[in-house]
Amino acid sequence: MLALSGTGIGRGIAIGRALVLDAPQHEVPHFQIDVKRIDDEILRFNQAISAVRQELQHLQSNLPPTAPPETGAFIDVHLLMLDDPLISKEPAESIRCEQINAEWALSNHAQTLVAFFDNISDPYLRTKKDDVAQVVGRIMDILTQQPERHPNLSSMEPALTDRIIVARDLSPADAVMLRHRSMAAFVTSLGGPISHTAILARSLGIPAIVGLHGVIDTIRDQDELIVDAASGTVLVSPDERLLKQFELLQARQHEERQALAKVGEKRAATLDDEEMTLLANIELPEDLDALAGSGAAGVGLYRTEFLFMNRTEPPGEEEQYQAYSQIINAVNGPVTIRTLDLGADKQVDGGRDEPKAAMTPALGLRAIRLCLSEPSLFKPQLRAILRAAVHGDVQMMIPMLSSLSELEQSLSLIREVCAELERESAVFKPNIPIGGMIEVPAAAIAADLFAQKLDFLSIGTNDLIQYTLAIDRVDDAVNYLYDPLHPSVLRLVRNIIQAGKAAGIPVSMCGEMAGDPLFTRLLMGLGLRQFSMEPSQLLEIRQQVRQTRLSAVPEWIERILTCTDTNALHGLVDQLNAQECV
Ligand code: PEP
Ligand code: MG
């Protein structure tokens, strides 16, 4: 038996068999071939191309009914790539003229194609290089006769019940593919507690371990695993005694969750009757199922960028209108639609290698910056949101604001879009509340100025912590610095809440901090009244609210905010949480 440890997400336990996903690193063999072998080598190459074509066509015609709708388009792109002369014809020419082996010839031409896409300024087209890599990987698998170890996520068996996914990393785009496969848990080499991989685990309500270095080389497919998220441990090939012990613990957790389910029907009010608004974060219309029984008062964060992933073209206005309307019609309560937050780790069409391509992508052309620089991408979304807003109580929220001029430009674009819709006599709602995510320290410090021009603020602690503490949220090497209780973070959070109060506008929090019961009392004490989180966290937070006597909290807040010792500060928060407020 082997015990490995990383950063645990959630507190659950999963027991199951490993499904190791990872692209094999191809060692491309380079050698000259004898002139007599040229025809055989070309035949070998052509046979590999035909085999991949058949494989893709088979996948295409055997898509399970539960496969995400974009899967077919995804495979079509790969089939088209396969027909590109640089992949399927020119390597054969090189084999003949340069007398080199098929793998070498293919890798030379594939590099030319990747370089071509790399130099395109359009970010959608640029991401096509990932398709090239995937198609070339399939051909190389056959040429080098490596069994495929990374089943394309789109083609995986639909249900992965009792399987524990083990991967180097899961991009947000992989997450979209995986979210309805009922896997038991996942374990990744990369990622930190606020990476989108971790957010995926919370949103699915499953345990996960991230930042477990070398896991890919240690765990083999079908290994029996126990994942214990509370301790951040993975046990590989556990003995009978441990299996029994963890099965018992798992059963106890299951009972606790069932008992917690009753809380969903009860008011989210403290013992001294201060009402909190508890909202859900969602990413796709399919997430609506998770809202049932969660007691969510509405959606506090709808991350629209997930609609743009795993596809080559962005969704048009009509498709967006349909998706937003579906959500608005289904949610019993307000829906806050966040405009596109693409960029950094959230790329269109996978973008597995994209973050490494830019030097510091989290500081780059992301979210509102990208949208303002590409009105042809942004305007259809604004139009779709304003049109869908007639179906319910809708607010629009702008991510990653860092300057007031970005806010002005966004508001002026919204006015422009309203005027256009007016001229077209379209059915839309013009004056919906417009809010801003406060997640860049610049905006948090000047929150009073942003508050004057916005209808509400929402604190994005995931990015606020990343930018304030200068720790890349996807880089597990700096995980150890992640600390929502850092005095700078707490002061910024307090500043934003106070700015909202002074301007008379609501302030919510939609980062992961809002869904962690460790911080509920503290945040209520700082004046927060709206919390938005992954649906799986809602019951626990509701229970924590119901067990708090708010009038007893302020004296702790002063002590916490003035504490100068990190350990003591964490100790104070633990003591606050341990108070029997009944
Ligand atoms: C955040 O930054 O806290 C947030 C909620 O947005 P995202 O995690 O999508 O960046
Ligand atoms: Mg954010």
pLDDT at 69: 64
Worst-scoring range by mean pLDDT, 67-81, 305-319, 506-520?
67-81
- Give ∠ CA 491-495-500 in degrees, rounded to 5: 155
CATH number of the CATH domain containing 155 = 3.50.30.10
- Mapping DSSP to helix (H, G, I), strand (E, B) and coil, where does residue 281 land? strand
Q: Pick from 303, 474, 496 the residue to mutate for probing ligand 1's pocket: most ligand atoms within 8 Å of its CB.
A: 303
Residue range 444-454, pLDDT digits in tens: 999 999 999 99
Query: Does residue 546 fall inside a structural domain?
Result: yes
pLDDT of 356 higher than 60: no
Alpha carbon separation from 272 to 262, 501, 547, 580 (Å, rounded) = 21, 21, 10, 14
Task: Work out the pLDDT band at 137, boundaries 50, 70, 90.
Answer: confident
Range 277-299 average pLDDT: 91
Angle between helices 71-82 and 128-143 (to 10 degrees): 70
Which atom of ligand 1 is the closest one to the Cα of 511?
A: 3
Residue nearest atom 1 in ligand 1 by C-alpha distance = 460
Range 309-322 average pLDDT: 89
Query: Does residue 271 fall inside a structural domain?
Result: no
User: Do 452 and 515 belong together in one domain?
Assistant: yes
CATH number of the CATH domain containing 94 = 1.10.274.10
pLDDT at 201: 83
Which atom of ligand 1 is the closest one to the Cα of 439?
A: 2
User: With contact defined as beta carbons under 8 Å apart, do 211 and 192 qualify?
Assistant: yes
Which of 216, 240, 264 is a domain's end point?
240
Provide the residue count of the chain: 582
Q: Which residues are catalytic?
A: 196, 510
Residue nearest atom 8 in ligand 1 by C-alpha distance = 462
pLDDT of 357 higher than 50: no
Expressed in angstroms and rounded, the spacing between residue 461 Cα and the centre of ligand 1 is 7
User: Do 377 and 497 belong together in one domain?
Assistant: no
Which of 89, 123, 143 is a domain's end point?
143
Mean pLDDT (the chain, rounded): 88
Query: Does residue 30 fall inside a structural domain?
Result: no
Task: Work out the pLDDT band at 149, boundaries 50, 70, 90.
Answer: very low
Range of the domain at 342: 276-400+407-432
The DSSP symbol for 344 reads T
pLDDT at 150: 46
Query: Does residue 9 fall inside a structural domain?
Result: yes
Give ligand 1 pocket residues (Cβ under 6 A). Answer: 301, 303, 341, 439, 460-463, 510-511
Range 35-46 average pLDDT: 92
Range 505-515 average pLDDT: 97
Torsion on CA atoms 430, 508, 291, 18, rounded to nearest 10 = 120
Q: Which amino acid is at 103?
A: E
**Sequence-separated (6 or more) residues with CB below 8 Å from residue 352:** 130, 169, 171, 173
Worst-scoring range by mean pLDDT, 68-72, 107-111, 555-559?
68-72
pLDDT at 355: 39
User: Do 76 and 159 belong together in one domain?
Assistant: no
User: Do 425 and 457 belong together in one domain?
Assistant: no
Domain count, the chain: 4
Give the number of whichever ligand sits closest to the CA of residue 484: 1
User: Do 310 and 418 belong together in one domain?
Assistant: yes
Which atom of ligand 1 is the closest one to the Cα of 463?
A: 2
pLDDT of 360 higher than 80: no
Query: Does residue 268 fall inside a structural domain?
Result: no
CATH number of the CATH domain containing 546 = 3.20.20.60
The string over 556-566, giving b where at least 16 C-beta atoms fall within 10 Å of a residue's C-beta and e elsewhere, is bbeebbebeee
Which of 143, 165, 180 is a domain's end point?
143
Q: Pick from 287, 401, 510 the residue to mutate for probing ligand 1's pocket: most ligand atoms within 8 Å of its CB.
A: 510
pLDDT at 501: 98
Which atom of ligand 1 is the closest one to the Cα of 341?
A: 9
Dihedral sign computed on CA atoms, order 188, 458, 464, 351? positive
Query: Does residue 124 fall inside a structural domain?
Result: yes
Query: Does residue 200 fall inside a structural domain?
Result: yes
Range 415-431 average pLDDT: 97
Residue nearest atom 6 in ligand 1 by C-alpha distance = 460
User: Do 218 and 297 belong together in one domain?
Assistant: no
Write out the H or E segment, with its range, that includes residue 46: helix 38-61
User: Do 556 and 482 belong together in one domain?
Assistant: yes
User: Do 455 and 395 belong together in one domain?
Assistant: no
Please name which of 14, 21, 317 lies closest in space to residue 184, comparing C-alpha atoms: 14
Per cent of the chain over pLDDT 70 is 89
Residue range 470-507, pLDDT digits in tens: 998 888 888 889 999 999 999 999 999 999 999 999 99
Q: Is the pTM of this model over 0.85?
A: no
Query: Does residue 548 fall inside a structural domain?
Result: yes
Strand partners, 458: 437, 508
User: Do 89 and 186 belong together in one domain?
Assistant: no
User: Do 287 and 415 belong together in one domain?
Assistant: yes
User: Do 353 and 426 belong together in one domain?
Assistant: yes
User: Do 190 and 61 belong together in one domain?
Assistant: no
Task: Work out the pLDDT band at 331, boundaries 50, 70, 90.
Answer: very high
pLDDT of 321 higher than 90: yes
pLDDT of 352 higher than 60: no
pLDDT at 582: 45
Task: Work out the pLDDT band at 279, boundaries 50, 70, 90.
Answer: very high
